[in-house]
Chain A
Amino acid sequence: AQSVTQLDSQVPVFEEAPVELRCNYSSSVSVYLFWYVQYPNQGLQLLLKYLSGSTLVESINGFEAEFNKSQTSFHLRKPSVHISDTAEYFCAVSGVGAAGNKLTFGGGTRVLVKP
């Protein structure tokens, strides 16, 4: 079984400022790690994922996350946010080798970008 903890339920940030969303997980098996973004009344869109290899992964829109095995963390960062980054962000894990992509989600972090 896995569990995911997102330490911040809400993060207000000014436009062009950096942001970090924290995510910690626990699992008895090896996991894949994901960050998803959700806009109001919509489904989830994948931001980035860690499967193996380099512990730093990047998205096309400027987000990056670093897998830290010793700290069981997968924090998400962006050096300069835009108004359009206002959304809910979910960290998720799935067990390596599990059928399909069955995800366990964190509680979510609501990012509110202020002008």
Chain B
Amino acid sequence: GAVVSQHPSWVICKSGTSVKIECRSLDFQATTMFWYRQFPKQSLMLMATSNEGSKATYEQGVEKDKFLINHASLTLSTLTVTSAHPEDSSFYICSASLTNTEAFFGQGTRLTVV
């Protein structure tokens, strides 16, 4: 199947700093990627839809100025958590689709803000 690579797999940062997470589709082009957030022992919540060449679409309640998404090419989307705080600590997962019938997920990034 198609491969989606997410980097880094884990990151620890100080409160107030920004962190960038990359999501790459390695062997296919994805016009649409999705970013999810997962709290411990909970489900995945969609944060935003990343559209290549246009602005991301954010879900209700997600601060677009805090979670900056850039989808500059057909194989790369980035999520930047700006001015991170401890409550932003979470597991962030991206997915990319070839079609609307299957998504391929990255390995996830565990963000810890201290």
B31 — which chain A residues lie within 8 A by C-beta? Answer: 100
Bits for B1-16, please: 1 = Cβ < 8 Å to A, else 0.
1001010010000000
Bits for B53-73, please: 1 = Cβ < 8 Å to A, else 0.
000000000000000000000
A69 — which chain B residues lie within 8 A by C-beta? Answer: none
Question: How many angstroms from the CA of A17 to the CA of B114 in the assembled complex?
Answer: 43
A110 — which chain B residues lie within 8 A by C-beta? Answer: 41
Q: Is B93 an interface residue (CB 8 A)?
A: yes
A104 — which chain B residues lie within 8 A by C-beta? Answer: 46
Of the candidates B32, B42, B107, which one forms a contact with A43 in the assembled complex, judged by CB atoms under 8 Å apart?
B107
Question: How many angstroms from the CA of A44 to the CA of B36 in the assembled complex?
Answer: 11
A103 — which chain B residues lie within 8 A by C-beta? Answer: 34, 44, 46, 95, 103
* Min C-beta distance of A93 to chain B, whole Å: 12
A56 — which chain B residues lie within 8 A by C-beta? Answer: none
Dominant SS at the A interface? loop
Bits for B85-108, please: 1 = Cβ < 8 Å to A, else 0.
000000101010101111101111
> Is B44 touching A90 in the complex (CB atoms < 8 A)?
yes
Question: How many angstroms from the CA of A43 to the CA of B102 in the assembled complex?
Answer: 15
> Is A100 touching B43 in the complex (CB atoms < 8 A)?
no
Using A44-B93, A105-B44 as known contacts, say yes or no to A99 and B107 having CB atoms under 8 A apart.
no
Question: How many angstroms from the CA of A76 to the CA of B34 in the assembled complex?
Answer: 25
Most B-side CB within 10 Å, residue of A51, A94, A100 = A100
> Is A108 touching B49 in the complex (CB atoms < 8 A)?
no
> Is A49 touching B107 in the complex (CB atoms < 8 A)?
no
Question: How many angstroms from the CA of A90 to the CA of B103 in the assembled complex?
Answer: 14
Which residues on B are within 8 Å of A, measured CB to CB? Answer: 1, 4, 6, 9, 30-34, 41-46, 49, 91, 93, 95, 97, 99-103, 105-108, 110
Which residues on A are within 8 Å of B, measured CB to CB? Answer: 32, 36, 41-46, 49, 51, 90, 94, 96-108, 110
